[in-house]
Structure 1
Amino acid sequence: MKSLSSAFRQGAPVCPAEKAQFHFFYWRNSLDFSFDVICYINVKMAAMSEKEKSGCRRLLELLSAEDLMALKDTVTNRLISVESTREAVEAIIAYSQSAEELLKRRKVHREVIFQYLAKEGVAVPPNTEKLHLVRRTLALWSDKVALFQDTQNNSTACCQEEPDGLGDLTALGKEFCRWFYQLFNSLNPTAGLPVQDWGPQHFWGDAKLFILSCTGEQEQDEYYGAELVSRRLSALVWEEKLIFCPNLEQSGLKCLSTPHGLVLVAVAGTIHRENLCLGIFEQVFGLIRDPLEGNRWKMKYVHLKIKGQVGGKQLPVLTYESDDMLQLFTT
């Protein structure tokens, strides 16, 4: 199979509480006042969860140095001096009352939040208002237990399920997609994401991958076995430098289960290279739990359909019906 590229051408905080205490104590030189402020600071620092702090760090790294320093001055009322952008990031997080307050700051531009969500694999319309982008980001940072997080290694596939089992297939599907596309896109050397532990361990030994490319001349290829499936998928992002952004809204996601324990997750999204949108995709995953690995989900089937650029600014919509999804893996 020729590359999709050619086909597309055809179509510990640096500013901890101790440092903050010194600055405020030195400023007023009043033990009583410094104690009040220290208590206030500690309350504010605790307002963000660790997940929110981590997300804020990644988002703030997208700001220009000038905007970052200006934001630091605003948040700290110019009372904290820093010597690097890293210290500025930590000061901003330390003195922000909440993640929501930080995201709504004027210097945290709408475009920055949009870029951050794209890097995290969350697709939203380019013309989405900032308020909605803030809500999507806060939802991404929520403390809901990750369904696909390994107890020993955060990137080891497929996870332990929540106590309610398969009661909410949509929630399971969303968590899987967030986990998968963040891991998948991390392989792109231009994405600026920390490379995670991609590999055949996320697939069943007899996994099957089917790729249908409709970018001009239609082509299809099949791959069998965990090693080969893993390598072919990784080539899309590592060698061809593509970024896959799923649409996790109701129009772009569908999940169902079979009586035999197979869970199907179908998702639509857009494909990008840097700032260029190349086309859209629909991907269907067949997941089965592995009782020998803590009952974690692993990928048994992957069906990927790729189309060239389609006009319009709306998010891509999933075209598969439930019967279509079942037929992909039962015929």
Structure 2
Amino acid sequence: MSGLSETERVGFTKILELMTKGDLLSLSDTVTNKMIAVENVTEARKTILSFTKNAEELLRRKKVQRDIIFKYLAGEGVRMSPSSEKHQLVKRTLELWSSVKCGVDESPRGDMVKTTDMKVGFDPLVLGQQFCQWFFQIWNSQNPSLGQQPQDWGPQHFWPNVKLHLFSRVSSEHMEEFLGAELVSLRLLALTKEEHLLFSPNLDSDGLKALTSPHGLVPVAVAGTIHRDAACLGIFEQIFGLIRSPEYNSWKIKFIKLKIRGQDTLGGIEVAAPDLSNNSSELQLLCS
């Protein structure tokens, strides 16, 4: 009988989906001491989960490669340095699985963070962290290179008149603007689904800021790194304007400002865990 918790089983299911057929069959042989023969990847995954007694032991197996754990964490919205060693990735994965989930619920419609926290003492930073974990997890899940089942992405997470400002500086500067939930949803989807980008946010205090306002707008700013497969392509800064939807008791996105900078334009800036350049006064202007 498996010794894995339900959270660990869900996590390992995603990790095993990222592995090649050859590595899965080999790992199944290792876990069962070749006592059980499996004939396909579905059987291999079930057997590995059934016979694993210890999550850390399985993560440390040679066939569970460093890049696969890194890719899994990125898909879960967990920022790690691209140069992280495998033991650091294993440690962070175990911390993720053992942590108590934040108070983030999804409504039956698949809407985003429920407004269970909007009480006296409301902390916008807590909402910002919960929102970013939710947003980057479903956004990255659209990337086919992760091999995950795409989560519920679509215009339902945005206000109908949402506006997206997209500024990129790679080989040259480029500015795009989109208005409306459908267009904004599709443009963001193209970045992960078609361009195969992974956005890894820095959710530490130096990479995340959030404020509140008397009008109910909560601007959330986050910085992070952008990856394609194992390559770090550059950094990003993203500001979300969140407004609560009374109808569904959940938060929806009113505007997004996304700034992308390619590796070649950074001039030696450390990209492992980029800090925000936006300060609180700049965010406060968005509330006025």
| TM-score normalised by the chain length of structure 1 | 0.75
Once the two structures are TM-superposed, the CA of residue 78 in structure 1 deviates from its matched residue by: 3.2
**How far apart in 2 are the matches of 1:76 and 1:195?**
31
SS in 2 for 1:141: helix
Is the CA contact 1:147–1:176 (under 8 Å) kept in the aligned structure 2?
no
8 Å contact 2:219–2:287 — kept in the other structure?
Answer: no
Q: Tell me how far apart the structure 1 counterparts of residues 107 and 42 of structure 2 sit (CA, whole Å).
A: 30
Q: Deviation per CA, 1:273-309: give whole Å up to 9, x if none.
A: 344433211001111111101x111111211111121
State the partner residue of 2:282: 324
Pick aligned residue for 1:133 from 83, 89, 92:
89
Offset of residue 203 of structure 1:
0.8
Distance 1:313 1:132 in 2: 18
Give ranges in structure 2 of 5+ residues lacking alignment.
none
2:255 counterpart letter in structure 1: Y
More helix by share: 1
Matching of residue 117 in structure 1 with residue 39 in structure 2: no
Distance 2:282 2:187 in 1: 24
Q: Is the 8 A contact 2:219 2:286 kept in 1?
A: no
Cα distance in 2 for residues equivalent to 1:151 and 1:157: 6
In 2, the alpha carbon distance for the partners of 1:152 and 1:114 equals 31
Task: Report the more deviating stretch, 190-199 or 313-322.
Answer: 190-199
Q: Give, as a single letter, the amino acid of the residue that structure 2 aligns with 1:98.
A: N
- Residue aligned with 1:257, SS: coil
Alpha-carbon contact 1:51-1:143 (below 8 Å) kept: no
Pick from 251, 259, 267 the counterpart of residue 206 of structure 2.
251
Residues 54-96 of structure 1, C-alpha deviations (whole Å, 9 max, x = no match): 2101112333444333332333333333222221221221122
Does residue 92 in structure 1 map to residue 48 in structure 2?
yes
> Which residue number corresponds to residue 220 of structure 2?
265
- 2:80 partner amino acid: V
Q: Hey, what's the Cα distance between the residues in 1 that align with 2:66 and 2:187? A: 35
Deviations 1:147-199 (A, max 9, x none): 4432425xx22132446856554443233222212222233344433233322
Cα distance change of structure 1 residues 205 and 129 upon mapping to structure 2, 3 Å threshold: same
CA contact (8 A) 1:269 1:315 kept: yes
> How many percent identity over aligned positions?
48
- The alignment status of 1:301 with 2:255, answered yes or no, reads yes
Check the 8 A contact 1:270/1:277 in 2, yes or no.
yes
**Is 1:179 equivalent to 2:163 in the alignment?**
no
* Equivalent position of 1:103 in the other structure: 59
CA distance in 2, matches of 1:162, 1:51: 23
Alpha carbon RMSD of aligned pairs, Å?
2.7
Larger radius of gyration: 1
Where does the alignment leave 5 or more consecutive residues of structure 1 unmatched?
A: 1-40
Question: Distance between the aligned counterparts of 1:276 and 1:107, measured in 2?
Answer: 21
1:146 to partner: Cα distance? 4.9
CA distance in 2, matches of 1:190, 1:74: 26
The residue type equivalent to 1:320 in the other structure is: N
The partner residue of 2:162 within 193, 202, 207 is 207
1:57 aligns with 2:16: no
Q: How does 1:67-82 map to 2 (within 5 A)?
A: 67-82=23-38
Counterpart of 1:221, as a letter, is: E
Q: 1:313 and 1:81, CA in 2 relative to 1: closer, same or farther beyond 3 A?
A: same
One-letter amino acid of the counterpart of residue 325, structure 1: L
1:268 deviates by 1.0
| Partner Cα separation in structure 2 for residue 174 and residue 134 of structure 1 | 22
Residue identity matched to 1:256: L
Q: CA deviation at 1:202?
A: 0.5
Cα shift at 1:323: 1.2
How many residues of Structure 1 are paired with residues of Structure 2 in the alignment?
283
CA contact (8 A) 2:82 2:232 kept: no
Which of 189-198 and 299-308 deviates more? 189-198
